[in-house]
Copies of this chain bind each other. A is one copy, B any other.
């Protein structure tokens, strides 16, 4: 359960409004790697976490902090939009050509839709969507995704910090940059600790290891003419899984399979020259092809008391 305090986590006061900067600033709020993304990603990971104690608490703690970050950014946005021009264009341009640039560049939905408030979108107005986030239940893979998201988020914050010289905005961004620095490390330390405590054997995803094609786990394939990629340690260094050396090879087919497809269902009117014999409707041939016949036998057994 959650509770709210009126004070923000950190001050969010620009020295003066700037509608053009507010347009860009949306990227930090509702963009692919904005604060809404990390907030929702951590909340879902925390709620789905199956390791109570320090791991679940850690994810919950940062998820809670991120709600507070989204709050800070929305307040900053509304303040940046104070007095933003939302009136008759012609008059505004007449007053001032610099204003014309602002009018051309500002986000019209800040005036039309949100009345001078923040929007849950990126800098080009794409609504935030949950296709940006992941919560797999596997902490190692999720911590890697989190470290990556914090890195991308910090890079965007850093770029945007160079687009303003407003000391109030810069002060808040200095706080955000620091949190992103810290949070990247938090997730990387988390990965180390998962391995130390036996939740994973190595620091990469390696489940179902016994299924793996061992040879293919040690090759770098070069697919570009004259590629120099074989010079990297990724092509020479030892596997961190088993210590065996990597090697570089030229990308080539490992099969003579040319991807010829089976005969199509004639009732689907797929263009076909008969090279795989006549196609049959899914109903008859399909039932058999799907192995349904055998299943019927098994089902009969099951229903007549024959528990498998």
Roughly how many angstroms separate A296 CA and B216 CA in the complex, as a whole number?
45
Residues of B within 8 A of A109 (CB): 27, 122-124
Given A96-B293, A105-B105, is A4 in contact with B7 using a C-beta cutoff of 8 Å?
Answer: no
- CB pair A185 B229 closer than 8 Å: no
Residues of B within 8 A of A27 (CB): 108-109, 112-113
Residues of B within 8 A of A171 (CB): 213
Residues of B within 8 A of A82 (CB): 262-263, 289
56-84 of chain A: CB within 8 A of chain B? 57-58, 60-65, 67-68, 70-71, 74-75, 78-79, 82-84
A25 to chain B, nearest CB (A): 9
How many residues from A make CB contacts under 8 Å with B?
233
- CB pair B53 A228 closer than 8 Å: yes
- CB pair B117 A213 closer than 8 Å: no
- CB pair B207 A264 closer than 8 Å: no
- CB pair B47 A290 closer than 8 Å: no
Residue of B nearest to A186 (CB): B234
Residues of B within 8 A of A213 (CB): 171, 174-175, 177-178
Roughly how many angstroms separate A271 CA and B89 CA in the complex, as a whole number?
24
Residues of B within 8 A of A141 (CB): 148, 151-152, 154-155
Residues of B within 8 A of A159 (CB): 86, 111-112, 115, 267-269
Residues of B within 8 A of A17 (CB): 262, 286, 289-290
Residue of B nearest to A295 (CB): B98
Residues of B within 8 A of A91 (CB): 165, 283
- CB pair B265 A84 closer than 8 Å: yes
Residue of B nearest to A160 (CB): B112
Residues of B within 8 A of A221 (CB): 61-62, 65
Q: List 7 A-B pairs, minimum CB-CB distance, nearest first.
A: A115-B137, A124-B125, A104-B105, A83-B289, A104-B104, A100-B101, A48-B117
Q: 5 A–B contact pairs at CB < 8 A?
A: A2-B2, A7-B257, A61-B223, A86-B286, A92-B283
Given contacts A17-B262, A47-B75, A114-B135, 16 further A-B contacts (CB under 8 A): A4-B224, A9-B254, A11-B255, A11-B257, A16-B291, A54-B230, A60-B227, A64-B251, A88-B163, A89-B164, A91-B283, A128-B130, A129-B129, A136-B270, A144-B144, A296-B303
